[in-house]
Structure 1
Amino acid sequence: MIIRKNSFKAIPSPLGCLQVPFRAFSVLCALVFFLTLAAPAANAQLWPTDTASQGSNGPKWPADSLDRRTPRGTVVGFIKAVASENYGRASRYLSLERKLQGKPKGAERALALQRLLDQRGTMVPYSRISNSPNGDLDDNLGPNLERVGIATVNGETFDLILERTEAPEGGPLWLFSSQTVQQIPVITEQEALVPLTDRVLPTFLKKNRWGGVPVGHWLVMLALATLAYLLAWIITFGLRAGIRTFWHKARTDPTSGIIKAFELPFRLYLAVWLLVVSSRAVGISIIVRQRFSELNVIVGQVALILLLWRLIDFITGFSERRLTRIGNASGLSAVLFLRRGLKIALMCFGIIAVLSTIGFDVTTGLAALGIGGIALALGAQKTVENFVGSVTLIADQPVRVGDFCKVGDTVGTVEQIGMRSTRIRTLNRTIVTIPNGEFSSLRIENFAHRDRFWFHPILALRYETTPEQIRFLLVELRTILYSHPSVDPDPARVRFIEMGSHSLNIEIFAYVHAKDFSEFLEIQEDLYLRMMDIVTASGTGFAFPSQTLYMARDSGTSQEKTQATEEQVRQWRDNGELQLPNFSEERINALKNSIPYPTSAPNPPRNGTGKSSRSKK
């Protein structure tokens, strides 16, 4: 057998191997001992069955002195009666003829049922028996029957059934059914088999009784619990070693982590199963086994909670290592927070389940927790809002740690995304902290993930620039964009877009390929300098807001051109060709495509009819 270093350093003896896990089990043994010290009267208080008052709106019946209003009350009452060796009282929990209840023959039936349960029977744990006057309506047995255990007679196994009857004073009364009672064999003292426990116990442990049972039965039960755990540990240790020997993948993550998570819960479940089987096999009294049955249920619940706890640790630990490797600090924060939250929720549910199993009424507590939770939620609205915002940021990932972005009016680099807030280092080197609830609702512009940079200057030229100079600039500026290796030619355009209030404006639109903003600034600087050279070479210059005052003598208007214009308008009016207020459809169709475009030369002047002299020729 191969044992890894990180398993156990040495195995000098079985008890030495169990030193660490046995500490956990010692706590369980202490709990067992504490529960076994409880008196039967205290046990009755854990399962209140007084159903005289069934709520303000439900039916009301007088209280039953034997607590037989519910199936659980009947079973608890019967066990208490036989524990106190009051078999006349115990017979009143059986469906017998009225004249036999409390009489010797009825007591014999009650004693026979106890012996049957001691040797060849078992009962359902108290917490699994219905505590409602109506019983369990979902057990497929009908509304008046309840299964509370099993027993074996002559090799045949049958169910122990409670039957709901009507009490003389009204209300339900649950009793062991007549069919169940008829199947109970009456065993005399001479016919009764002596259990193995009674055969091996010394006389003083059998004579001294506690709770209606020899003290030796309690001690044997504790010894069986210890042995069951030791045997379960040996079995799980052997299974783990065998799996690692024959399946090499079980030694590496994540398989080893999953096996480790299941190991201790499986050991606890196996120990409980071994305890139940062995205690029945050696003939431990049903009174002792019923007291331990609740502990078995609790250990099962603890094992389940422990399994979920370990799976949470495994899954979050595995995710934590992966996120650490890729440097995802925000995801790591979310994993740590979720792990704490899940563990707290798991502990709350575990405590509620254990208290419910013990017998405490957790309904009132849950209602109080619900009201308290609502009050807490109202008081912690902002906290919940920030948590939801952080989950949104982590899931959607509009920004990551290290991204340069603009959030609202804040521009800077994201330094940390926490569970409550996000920190941004601004250009002034200050830290701005934004709550995640507000952060997720703001407009976020992320500059870190753009594929290209927009190059969009507008060149403002002097008004003295001639049309020919503008044509020269359009050609040369486009040449620069098309020929530069860092400029994407699609789209790359240069257009004369506006005659502004103090300048003639040329728009340049293009995208630049760069790995980061610093490289883009270098390329932009190169383009600006080349364009300045082109503007200088064209003979014009850049405009700036100004006013020009021309000191010249006003020559007035031209009389010849004024007369020619007036004559042209008169002719249009006389010929019916004055296209005002609107051009006619025929005139529009005649003018379509009459201007040659594109052209490398200025358009020829138009004649008085609106057509060019070239078209006339």
Structure 2
Amino acid sequence: MLSSLQHKLYTFIFFIVLIGLPLTVKAQLLGTGKSTTEEAPKVPADSLGRNTPQGTVNGFIKAIAEQNYIRASQYLVLSKRSYRSVKERIRIAQAFQRLLDQNGDILPPSMINNKETGRTDDELAAGIDLVGTITTNNTLINLYVENQTEDDNKPALWQFSDETVNAIANATIGDETILDRILPDVLKERKMAGVPIGHWFVVVVMILVAYMLSWAIISLIGFLIQRFWRKANTEKISAIIDAFTLPARLYMGVLVFVALTQRLGISIIVRQRFSVIIVTIAIVAFLILLWRLTDFISSYSRDRMTLRGRISAISVILFLRRTTKVAIVIIGIIAILGAVGVDVTAGIAALGIGGIALALGAQKTMENFVGSVSLIVDQPIRVGDYCRIGDIKGTVESIGMRSTTLRTAARTIVTIPNAEFAASKIENYTHRDRFLFNPILTFRMETTPDQLRYLLVELRALLYSHPSVVNSSPIVRFKGITADALKVEMTAYIEAANVDDSHEVQEDLLLRILDIIDNSGTGLAYPSQTIYFARDGGNSEEKTAQAEETVKKWKENGELQLPKFDQKRVDELRGMIQYPEEGSVVKPEPNNE
């Protein structure tokens, strides 16, 4: 960030350099305003350059600068007979100049239309353009130029309208301006470019005065903001104030300069030459503001992403900052060229064609960039997440501008373009809040109905009582009879911090399920195509009898927990299982309840 002293120095140098520009751009600013890429006219152009509103205004200013008032009068509509004498024509042209010098204003050349049709997007009638104003005796005179040609097949001929000329001819010209009264005769008699040399010296002084006043005003405003607004001293607000300081000084300097030159009565010839510079300064100030705001926003966003640990977003922020700055430079060059009178239509068209060609050639690159932006904004994955993209499973190691890399279980690196990544279905395993436990058990066909009832009750009791199974109702259902087995499906959710912990709980549940199956007296079914050469012992008669007796007691006492468990029994079962089981090196956590 530049210091305030550097701001002052750079701005001062900027204003001083501008002093020499009017003399070097005289031919361009006061010419006919024709573009270097102007299309060949369909008909012969007017010798005085009156084919466009801009050409008429520039030609009139050039004529009065050369004190050729006869030629200057040809840019006016002199319809009345009394205006047709040479003396009267000269008088009106001189009065026009005098009124403009005292309190008149004409638009900068770049803001005046340079087409034969004139402006078509304003509220005025076709063939009429407003190019400036004059204030005299509290009366506002609008300066209109009007196309005098009614035949579309003939060249346009723009002149200051009859209404404007009549108002000027009848206007009361005031006394000498402030500048005329204070300048010594020697500075008024000697002229440069048709203007007393004293006006040029005063303009130089006004540049310095405008700069000093703008610096003082903006410094005072900054001091008051910091004095009465507590947040102004914070790092963020202070950076915003610094970003606005230099552009605000330039804008304020322009406003002060325009106000002073109009108030003092600087010649309209000088002011028109400096109008291009004023517009250029305004454009430069706005570009500086955009540049500094881009730096501030990117720095602020980068710090926020760093604090949040979103390192992958920083590369996108830096890329967007560079892209924005390039756009600012290109737009600034086009705007400045347009302000000084260069026709940039062909350049813009060339940029458009080049941009389309570049976009087509870099289509995949842009797709990958857009994909990386969507991954960072939506955050379906983050660095370190374990996920599945299509048929690929792995841990995300990096999210770049073009691609994302995954580390697979085989320790290989897979690189996926971000466009393909963002368009794919992403399954993220890292952020699961619970893990599905869904084994399907098949029992021998010899299993009796009471054995099956015993299994259903005990398996449900296992899920209800295990501390790592989510308290929502687990499901254990007899799902069907296949050709070689009785099928029972279990569905529950394991509550664990990560995948490894869920595997430990699942292992414990499966071991306890095997214990329950063994106690029931039946067993898991073997595939029907298996051939047994050893003698099958069949079901245990003793354990079968025990299981049947247990079910009988449940029925007699009205305690058979089918088709679902009684809530009272569920409450009794909760937490009865010790997990990890007794003898494990991992000690169970104390029950806070």
Q: Secondary structure at the match of 2:159?
A: strand
Are the equivalent residues in 2 in contact too, given 1:404–1:412 (CA < 8 A)?
Answer: yes
Who is 1:184 aligned against? 168
Who is 2:118 aligned against? 135
Who is 1:21 aligned against? 8
Q: Secondary structure at the match of 2:157?
A: strand
Gap runs ≥5 in structure 2: 536-550, 554-593
The one-character-per-residue Cα deviations of 1:49-108 (angstroms, maximum 9, x if unpaired) are: 999955xxxxx4321000111111111001111222222211211222589669344233
Is 2:431 the partner of 1:449? Answer: yes
Q: Secondary structure at the match of 1:399?
A: coil
Are the equivalent residues in 2 in contact too, given 1:92–1:101 (CA < 8 A)?
Answer: no
Q: Secondary structure at the match of 2:474?
A: strand
Aligned equivalent of 2:306, options 324, 335, 344: 324
Q: Secondary structure at the match of 1:62?
A: coil
Q: Secondary structure at the match of 2:125?
A: coil
Who is 1:560 aligned against? none
Structure-1 separation of matches of 2:36 and 2:57: 11
Structure-2 separation of matches of 1:364 and 1:38: 22
Q: What is the CA distance between 1:167 and its match in structure 2? A: 8.5
Aligned equivalent of 1:294, options 268, 276, 282: 276
Are the equivalent residues in 1 in contact too, given 2:32–2:55 (CA < 8 A)?
Answer: no
Structure-2 separation of matches of 1:51 and 1:309: 33
Distance 1:101 1:255, change over 3 A: farther
Who is 1:116 aligned against? 99
Aligned equivalent of 2:410, options 424, 428, 437: 428
Q: What is the CA distance between 1:289 and its match in structure 2? A: 0.8
Q: What is the CA distance between 1:428 and its match in structure 2? A: 3.0
Are the equivalent residues in 2 in contact too, given 1:100–1:106 (CA < 8 A)?
Answer: yes
Is 2:26 the partner of 1:39? Answer: yes
Distance 1:52 1:103, change over 3 A: farther
Structure-2 separation of matches of 1:483 and 1:120: 95
Q: Map 1:137-176; keep pairs closer than 5 Å.
A: 137-166=120-149, 170-176=154-160
Q: Map 1:176-215; keep pairs closer than 5 Å.
A: 176-184=160-168, 193=176, 195-196=178-179, 199-200=182-183, 203=186, 209-215=191-197
Q: Secondary structure at the match of 1:184?
A: helix
Opposite residue 23 of structure 1, the aligned amino acid is Y
Q: What is the CA distance between 1:340 and its match in structure 2? A: 2.8
Distance 1:470 1:141, change over 3 A: closer
Larger CA Rg, structure 1 vs 2: 1
Q: Map 1:410-421; keep pairs closer than 5 Å.
A: 410-421=392-403
Structure-2 separation of matches of 1:447 and 1:128: 61
Opposite residue 220 of structure 2, the aligned amino acid is G
Are the equivalent residues in 2 in contact too, given 1:457–1:509 (CA < 8 A)?
Answer: yes
Distance 1:222 1:186, change over 3 A: farther
Q: Secondary structure at the match of 1:161?
A: strand
Are the equivalent residues in 2 in contact too, given 1:472–1:538 (CA < 8 A)?
Answer: yes
Distance 1:363 1:42, change over 3 A: same
Are the equivalent residues in 1 in contact too, given 2:30–2:62 (CA < 8 A)?
Answer: no
The one-character-per-residue Cα deviations of 1:137-188 (angstroms, maximum 9, x if unpaired) are: 3443322432222223344332222232138994332212333333436999
Q: What is the CA distance between 1:389 and its match in structure 2? A: 1.7
Who is 2:293 aligned against? 311
The one-character-per-residue Cα deviations of 1:263-291 (angstroms, maximum 9, x if unpaired) are: 22222111101111111222322111101
Are the equivalent residues in 2 in contact too, given 1:197–1:217 (CA < 8 A)?
Answer: no
Distance 1:526 1:105, change over 3 A: same
Is 2:342 the partner of 1:360? Answer: yes
Deviates more, 1:411-420 or 1:265-274: 411-420
Deviates more, 1:481-490 or 1:259-268: 259-268
Structure-1 separation of matches of 2:498 and 2:185: 89
Are the equivalent residues in 2 in contact too, given 1:390–1:420 (CA < 8 A)?
Answer: yes
Structure-1 separation of matches of 2:403 and 2:309: 19
Who is 2:570 aligned against? none
Structure-2 separation of matches of 1:278 and 1:491: 84
Who is 1:83 aligned against? 65
Are the equivalent residues in 1 in contact too, given 2:381–2:428 (CA < 8 A)?
Answer: yes
Q: What is the CA distance between 1:195 and its match in structure 2? A: 4.9
Q: What is the CA distance between 1:123 and its match in structure 2? A: 1.4
Is 2:501 the partner of 1:519? Answer: yes
Deviates more, 1:456-465 or 1:484-493: 456-465
Q: Secondary structure at the match of 1:66?
A: coil
Are the equivalent residues in 2 in contact too, given 1:88–1:101 (CA < 8 A)?
Answer: no
Structure with the larger RCO, 1 or 2 (CA within 8 Å, 6+ apart): 2
Q: Percent identity?
A: 47
Q: Secondary structure at the match of 2:44?
A: coil
Distance 1:167 1:457, change over 3 A: closer
Q: Secondary structure at the match of 1:402?
A: coil
Are the equivalent residues in 2 in contact too, given 1:405–1:448 (CA < 8 A)?
Answer: yes
Q: Secondary structure at the match of 2:470?
A: strand
Structure-2 separation of matches of 1:49 and 1:141: 29
Distance 1:412 1:246, change over 3 A: same
Are the equivalent residues in 1 in contact too, given 2:77–2:159 (CA < 8 A)?
Answer: yes
Q: Secondary structure at the match of 2:467?
A: coil
The one-character-per-residue Cα deviations of 1:353-378 (angstroms, maximum 9, x if unpaired) are: 22211111121112111211111111
Q: Secondary structure at the match of 2:20?
A: helix
Structure-2 separation of matches of 1:368 and 1:130: 22
Who is 2:456 aligned against? 474
Structure-1 separation of matches of 2:37 and 2:365: 45
Who is 1:281 aligned against? 263
Who is 1:339 aligned against? 321
Are the equivalent residues in 2 in contact too, given 1:352–1:362 (CA < 8 A)?
Answer: yes
Count matched residues.
537
Normalising by structure 2, we get a TM-score of 0.81
Are the equivalent residues in 2 in contact too, given 1:404–1:447 (CA < 8 A)?
Answer: yes
Deviates more, 1:205-214 or 1:348-357: 205-214
Q: What is the CA distance between 1:116 and its match in structure 2? A: 2.3
Is 2:204 the partner of 1:251? Answer: no
Distance 1:78 1:533, change over 3 A: same
Distance 1:179 1:414, change over 3 A: same
Who is 2:510 aligned against? 528
Q: What is the CA distance between 1:462 and its match in structure 2? A: 5.5
Are the equivalent residues in 2 in contact too, given 1:167–1:173 (CA < 8 A)?
Answer: no
Are the equivalent residues in 1 in contact too, given 2:30–2:59 (CA < 8 A)?
Answer: no
Are the equivalent residues in 2 in contact too, given 1:49–1:72 (CA < 8 A)?
Answer: no
The one-character-per-residue Cα deviations of 1:217-247 (angstroms, maximum 9, x if unpaired) are: 3333233123212210111011110111112
Deviates more, 1:487-496 or 1:366-375: 487-496
Deviates more, 1:313-322 or 1:101-110: 101-110
Are the equivalent residues in 2 in contact too, given 1:78–1:93 (CA < 8 A)?
Answer: yes
Is 2:362 the partner of 1:380? Answer: yes
Are the equivalent residues in 1 in contact too, given 2:131–2:144 (CA < 8 A)?
Answer: yes
Opposite residue 206 of structure 2, the aligned amino acid is L
Distance 1:489 1:240, change over 3 A: closer
Q: Secondary structure at the match of 2:148?
A: strand
Who is 1:106 aligned against? 89
Structure-2 separation of matches of 1:134 and 1:297: 24
Q: What is the CA distance between 1:502 and its match in structure 2? A: 6.4
Is 2:210 the partner of 1:228? Answer: yes
Q: Secondary structure at the match of 2:394?
A: strand
Aligned equivalent of 1:484, options 466, 478, 482: 466
Opposite residue 116 of structure 2, the aligned amino acid is P
Are the equivalent residues in 1 in contact too, given 2:29–2:340 (CA < 8 A)?
Answer: no
